[in-house]
Structure 1
Amino acid sequence: MKKILTIILLGLLISILLNFYYIKKFDNYDPTVSSQNQHFMIKSDPEKFWLRAHNLKAQLINGKNFFETGDEYRIPYLPSKIIYLFSLITNDKFYDQENLTIIKESYNGKFQERKIALDNKKVFFLIFQSFFYYLSLFFLYSKIRNRIDANSSLYLILFLSLEPTIMLFHSSFWSESIFFTLLIFLIALVFENKIANIRNLIIGLLLGLLFLQRSIAIYYFVILIIYYICIFKRSSLRPIFFTLLGYLMVVLFIGFHNYKRSDNFYVQPTQAKDGFYVYLVPMILSSSKKISTNEVKTILNNDLNEWIVKNDINLENESDRLIYYNYLQKKSFQIIIKNPFITFKLIFKKTLHYFVLDPLRHVHYFYKFDLRKQNSFYKTELADNMVIPRIVYSFLIYSIILIGFISVIKKKKTLCLLFFY
């Protein structure tokens, strides 16, 4: 236990030091971009979380019911709510010269209307993320210490405590840190393999919160159902039922909020519906038609504008936007199905790129460079110099994963754990 506590406390200390370092270095505006309002740390999705937290605060103070607040369910639901709650605790403001007016969100991602407030208590939010994460590791160890051998427990906690990519996310305003934390709490509870109804209801609620934190978790319940069937066999019906009940309670809460706010019942972020059309479809058609992606985008935009006019779609209206997103999703699937080999080739190529890990990508480089510019980092000398370290780092991480995978295979009694890979 002393070794485990030492590792967890060491990881927490390093993480908090990084919190202070990044706030001191990057809690400011980026002078290298045309907009004088762009913050080093709070841009891209974190800026959207910040904006929605501000709007939630303004709407509630101005007398709106919670279920009447918000805008289109475009991005994950939970991050902005957590930031808002933290602002209540710290009595902090989101923007310089903040007042209680609503900042209209632009759907092209450009809403640099106000400056993010500086010299506030952002660092305490990052410390909260760090503390919450390392608390989850202690909770995980308390659940596994009597179920797996001491060395395996030690290596697991050591890896999760000090792995650089995870640790750096605690010093960011992305959604990953709290997502990892919720996932660890969930795995710790699942690992106990108990049929208790309340426990499985809580597991379902945690599963729902994971989905609210990052929409990628929407289908995690499928993995959990397979795991339950593997572990409990004929007795799996009851834990599956209560887990799905907890999960559905969260999902239906989102649907109800959207319905009360906009008269539209839906539970999936709209960002998940047009992603293929925006990012993948142009590359597929460019390859199949042998033309540039810019030419493809021009053709797609013209066709899309014709469809909008023909179907009398008003993109200022949320109900019409939902029809629009559903059309984009349907159109994307049609193009993907018609071009299976090109699609597979593109996805396989992109996947290979991601196999070379970069622990600095989403935090350090995200702060230091404007990564939305094509050549801001990856065409620089620094990027070239980091290729070998990234390959070595990737090799180490995949080796650790492979060792763990082989270890599970050898211990036939724990084969069901393979579903967690």
Structure 2
Amino acid sequence: MDVERLGRAAYILRCICTAETRIAWQTRGMSRRYLWAALLWGFGALAQGGTSLEIRCLFQGASLEAAPILLNGIQVGTCPQVTLPMPSGKSKISIRASQNDGTFLQYERSFQGPIPSPLEATLERFDPRVTLSLNTKAPGLYDSAIAPDNRWLAVGGSDGLLRLWDLGAAREVRVFKGHTKYIRSVAYSPDGKWIASGSGDATVRLWDAVSGKELKNFKLAKSVWAVTFDTSGKHLLVIQLGGEAMLLDVASGKPLKRWQTSSFLFSTAFSPSGRTLVVGRSNGGVEFWDLANTRLVNQLQLGGGPVYAMAFSPDSRFLAAGRDSGEVMIYDLLTPGGAQLVATLTGHTDAVSSLAYSPDGRWLASGSADRTVRLWELAPGEAPRLNRVWVGHTATLNSVYFRKNLLYTTSNSGNILIWALPQ
């Protein structure tokens, strides 16, 4: 069985299906350390060294003749074609190889009708090894923010409670009460003294990050979609459901600016410099707003379907956008002539609901409604490469963000999972 190394995480196998549905796994340039010394086919294959390999070809209807498996042109076994109670006309192939380090390589796809011929399958590295798991006891988490000193984590729940966690002690230390509906957005001030929370109850509340005391309650007309501090910490940028934006003076609570973005608002992101707001629309469009003069300066059309999530690279050159199709599209914003699509990342099987770049620009993390987190390795002048797929969440991912050598992820289940970045 062959695998072609793609970066550090993906391996490729080419399946050629004949008219008689026979399947041959062609070998191309496989590293010898991935050759299995002994194979015992059936529902699985065991190899020396503690690594196991399993291949299943699943079909609806009558089982077919077992297809031969070729390794370097020599038949080493057969792929059992198994009858399962699948929807009529569908077929499925599943390949999984366990690794000694606790990770596993896997490919699994369903097809309407027969398995296509030829089929090019990519084995991806899945990693279930969680560094730390925190159970917030919230029915669901919509957003979270980590303090500038990396010690405190504030999480906003669907129950309207803002919870503060001490990451060093891995325990909840305080609960801020006041909101009467879900908390949609959370932000720390640049100096770490304040926490702002925006809610479905149409308020933005300002909290003392140490005592938990509510300092201010900004009452608005509509539910709050996003809230963030500017780089000075003196102003709050607030986006309301329906696309109305405003800049609030923290000291007085008065709006300094108001303007209307897209009424098709579906997601937002702010550039690291604080100069640009991007708005993702439900119709697949993206708007770029200059915050200095509240002017619309550019637009992109990604295609049909909502733009679920966006993130700027640390240097503000690239914008990653997550779509309902499971794709992540990366645009170079400094290309002469306008923004240019430079990469489309695939692999998620449901909408991409959260995105984040690491501060050093080496990594891009994508969280999805498929309950997985994909870690993409970035290098100048090279295409992004999948490093691994983290698994462990049991609900849609709502936020992903980097701090030091860790990635923090939250989901609708109320859990926070923390992962160690590869060295």
Query: What range is the shorter-chain TM-score in?
Result: under 0.3
Pick the structure with greater CA Rg: 2
Q: Which structure's relative contact order is higher, taking Cα pairs within 8 Å and 6+ residues apart?
A: 1
Bigger fraction of residues in helix: 1
Q: TM-score, normalised by structure 2?
A: 0.22
**Structure with more of its chain in strand, by fraction:** 2
